[in-house]
Amino acid sequence: MARTGALDRFVRKALTHGARRDEIAAALADAGWRDRDVRRALDAYVDRDFVVPVPRPQPFVSARDAFLYGLTFVALVICVVNLASALFELAEWALRDDARLRLNWDLAALAVFAPVFALLDRRTRGDERDSPMRKIFAYGALFVAALVLLGDLVAALALALSGGLGLEVAVKCLVVAVISGAVFAYYRRSLADEVA
């Protein structure tokens, strides 16, 4: 933090003294600063002539953001786990003669948390696209979805190689792959929309 603070102070002072942006960037590059840090520091100020450098609005983290995005993330996790559990139950019921269908908890959790997720996700996507918390939770969801997808692939291949990949297990692996793939695709598209 101290390093970027020094960079920000330098850029502000250089702009105040009338230095051109390309001169500032060259001086910082000569000093060993990374291009992306220099761009970020310069982009913090509007490129126009004025008495003092004009700062751009900066995104910030609020307790409200942490609450909304945290609850959205937890609702997503509960929905995903209970959807997978319900689909596992259906697979067992369909493929086993002695299986009994027990979906009470899964359906109850989905009935409560799916609308919560949909409402909060829609609300938070509308007006807070620059929120650092949104990006943190979106990348967290991408990370977890990627790990689950890769772990599912490892499990399916290991079971196939050992001869233990029956129809029921294959269906369960497919369920996990489809759900984690959908979560990954959703958040990847969401983050790509923010960049565009």
Query: How many helices (H) and strands (E) in the chain?
Result: 7, 0
Please give the sequence-ordered ranges of beta strands (E in DSSP) within the chain, or none if there are none: none
- Count the neighbouring beta carbons within 10 Å of the beta carbon of residue 77: 15
> Computed from CA positions of residues 190, 71, 151, 84, in that sequence, does the dihedral angle turn out positive or negative?
negative
Burial class (CB in 10 A: 0-12, 13-18, 19+), 41: buried
DSSP character at residue 97 = S
pLDDT of residue 2: 47
pLDDT for position 73: 94
Single-letter amino acid, residue 189: R
Instruction: Mark 110-135 as b/e (b = at least 16 C-beta within 10 Å).
Output: beebbebbeebbeebeeebeebebbb
Q: What is the dihedral of CA 44, 46, 48, 50, to 10 degrees?
A: -80
- DSSP readout, 49-72? --SS--BPP-----HHHHHHHHHH
What confidence score (pLDDT) does residue 127 get?
54
pTM greater than 0.85: no
What's the pLDDT score for residue 87? Answer: 95
Give the alpha-carbon dihedral of 57, 59, 60, 61, to 10 degrees: 160
- Model pLDDT, residue 196: 47
Residue ranges of the chain whose pLDDT lies below 70:
1-4, 126-130, 194-196
Give the DSSP H or E segment for 150: helix 132-162
